[in-house]
Chains A and B, each alone.
Chain A
Amino acid sequence: MSSDALPSRPAENAALAFLKKPLVVALILIVLLLAVGEWLSPGFASPGQILRLLIVAALLGIVAAGQNLVILGGREGIDLSVGGIVSMAAILAGNVMNGADGGILPAILVCIVVGALFGLINGVGVTLLRIPPLVMTLGMLGVLQGLLVVIRNGIPSGRAAPGLSDFVVKPFLLGLPGIIWLWLLIGLAMAFLLRRTVFGYRVYAIGSNEQAAFMAGVPVKTIRVSLFMLSGVFAAIAGMCLLGYSGSSFANVGEQYMLPSIIAVVLGGTPLSGGKGGYTGTMAGAVLLVLLQSILTTVHIDEAGRQMVFGATLVALMLFYGRAKAMRG
């Protein structure tokens, strides 16, 4: 699937230009969609509504952070297991805290460890056994879904602690709930990680040319395994926040994040071939995606029509971003 052939260009400039363009496009589209929403149903773009929208976008955006990293690392990197990990984290966290604030910290620990563990297995499969990421994480998704059935039969679904719910929905600082701050923090951390650390440069290096990176002494396998682990951790954090958002977990809550997290990354200007792009665009992509869904719910059409419009609009949106180059002789 990856057949991009532009290593001859000055990488820095090309990468920067590429990063800027999709982000600007996404931001313009966001403003445009907000205007359309306000026009369709007055009050759509009110601060309260926008805040609610951002909370939903934050949940998707946090999953997409891990997805983004795996995709950036190249070699057809993709993580289909995130949906399963989100569900798993939601139910585990619900049981560990079971409605008590004292259980929040242990729940965070359990979720992070579990997320990292499944990420580690994915990473080992992809690097040491060289299973294509799509196949490895697809298989892992099946295992996770099976595990969820086992867990659900053994224990009740659990409840969110009030503190966690407040963190997700109640204003925390400057009128914004904690999850928005968390998302911003993740955004900053990702920008720092990718642009200011050796690790970040290595991610781009293995994503754009693994062979060259290997020759230059980059520990390709270690980097790739850690990307999958980070993806698992981000999905687990999102699962916990999702529990706080909905109060209790239900079957396969996470599945709705699997493919949308990939779409958010692509709409944010990171091509699936990896090696270029960044998280700022992905954040805009997540907002864009949630915004679009939200507009469609305010319009009075039935579920079927809504899905058709959503699918067609997604295709139209993708036309703005990273289309493959036309073949040339």
Chain B
Amino acid sequence: MSNAATQTNTGGLGRLIRRYPFLPALIILVLLLALNGIFEPRSLSFRSMTGLISTYLALMMLAVAQTYVVFSGDIDLSAGSIVSLVNVSVIVLMQKWGGDGFAVIAACLAGALIGLACGLINGIVVAGLRLQAIVATFATSIFFTGLALTVLPVAGTPAPEAYWTTYGGRFFGIPFVFYAVAVVAILLAILMRMRLTTQMLAVGDDQQAAFQSGLPVTAIRIKGYVFCGLFAALAALCITGDTASGDPLVGGKMTLYSVAAVVLGGSALAGGFGTVTGSLIGALIIGLINALVFFVGTPSEWQNFVQGLAILLALMTGILVSRGARA
């Protein structure tokens, strides 16, 4: 990234955005919330917010997953197929193990392990074998989809009641998804303070320089993919709770949205710059755009187009604003 003017017009806003790269995204988010509130006051109710989060928690997780590879300048086009694979595996395992509470927890753990394994495979293929991330992860996505189709050839097997009632339920008056968000937030806060995050960003900023300063570049990139696999598995658990069934193709469409969410959140796809918080906000922005397009009364056949256009414009604005601030 060779920007012409460096370190000139850096006002207070610029400094703020460099410190908190997700600030433009946050502003877009607040704006969207306000617009949603204007067009449909009820959309700001606690109940609607819960609905929004339980629907888009999966995308939020997947955006986090994608962020960890984008940090080091990589990309994972197989993230969505990992979601599919974990989704069907968890469903089939829960059914096989009887569907009681124990089975649910064991299946979730198994799902997380499957996600980790997929991430490890990606890491070895991309960083270990030194293949180009875009094409190599597309190839592994075909492999993972095939695996998902082997586990469950057609969509439909339902999740045990214990599973989706927990995901959609409340504890002490607070919806389960909020606990999930809180746990993930704590987890992410810890991860953000770990040295690994800085190392990933260093690799993404300048791989050669990172290598020359003694960082184990390959190992760091592989770890990025492993994190990506793990969070993709968490995304799968969320989507399983939301749809309450198995579908070997459920995650396919989510991959590109996860990339969009990362960009919306202010992270640079080239690596070296970004935050997980931004990606979480990015995923919510996509959700709110979809809701807003519905609330303003767009005719149904135009909804996809308006959504696509709004996301494109949001992507462009985000990039322009954050670049303007960083330049």
Contact = CB atoms under 8 A, between A and B. Distances in A.
A305 B208 CA distance: 39
Interface string A110-154: 000000000000000100011110111011111111110110011
A146 B319 contact: no
Nearest to B77: A259
B133 interface: yes
B315 A1 contact: no
B131 A150 contact: no
B240 interface: no
A307 B143 contact: yes
A254 to B, nearest CB: 15
B150 interface: yes
Interface stretch (A86-94, A156-164, A226-234, A315-323): A315-323
Q: Main SS of the interface on chain A? A: helix
A131 B308 contact: no
A78 B134 contact: yes
A130 B55 CA distance: 33
Interface in B48-100: 73-75, 77
Contact of B132 (A259, A303, A322): A322
A135 B322 CA distance: 15
B291 to A, nearest CB: 16
Given A1-B133, A262-B138, A135 B302 contact: no
B312 A142 contact: yes
B44 interface: no
Nearest to B263: A135
B135 A262 contact: yes
A307 B207 contact: no
A52 B162 CA distance: 52
B25 to A, nearest CB: 14
Interface string B126-163: 00011111111011111111111110010000000000
B307 interface: yes
A314 B241 CA distance: 34
**Majority secondary structure, B binding face:** helix
A21 interface: no
B269 interface: yes
A156 to B, nearest CB: 14
A273 B226 CA distance: 25
Contact of B307 (A142, A271, A322): A142
B146 A310 contact: yes
A222 interface: no
Nearest to B144: A311
Given A143-B309, A211-B2, A327-B208, A307 B315 contact: no
A17 interface: no
A247 B140 CA distance: 33
B154 to A, nearest CB: 11
B316 interface: yes
Contacts, number: 171
Interface size class of B (residues with CB under 8 A): 35 or more
Contacts of A78: 134
A138 B315 CA distance: 10
Contacts of A131: 315-316, 319
B312 A130 contact: no
B202 to A, nearest CB: 13
Nearest to A138: B256
B19 to A, nearest CB: 23
Nearest to B320: A129
A229 to B, nearest CB: 18
Contact of B142 (A145, A272, A307): A307
Given A135-B319, A307-B145, A307-B146, A142 B311 contact: yes
B305 interface: yes
Contacts of B323: 130
A122 to B, nearest CB: 11
A304 B259 CA distance: 26
A139 B208 contact: no
A134 to B, nearest CB: 6
A71 B256 CA distance: 19
B201 to A, nearest CB: 15
B73 A323 contact: no
Nearest to B256: A138
A139 B138 contact: no
A308 B144 CA distance: 7
Contact of B208 (A3, A132, A138): A3
A263 B138 contact: yes
A174 interface: no
A138 B311 CA distance: 10
Interface string A66-82: 00000000001010100
Interface in B91-139: 125, 129-136, 138-139
18 contacts: A1-B271, A76-B269, A78-B134, A125-B316, A130-B319, A131-B315, A135-B259, A136-B315, A138-B260, A139-B316, A143-B312, A266-B135, A307-B143, A307-B146, A311-B140, A311-B144, A312-B139, A315-B140
Given A149-B304, A327-B207, 4 more contacts: A142-B312, A311-B141, A318-B135, A327-B217
List the 10 closest pairs (A to B, CB-CB), nearest first. Answer: A311-B143, A146-B305, A307-B146, A139-B312, A142-B308, A308-B146, A311-B142, A304-B149, A146-B304, A314-B139
Interface of B: 2, 73-75, 77, 125, 129-136, 138-150, 153, 206-208, 211-212, 217-218, 256, 259-260, 263, 269-271, 301-309, 311-312, 315-316, 319-320, 323
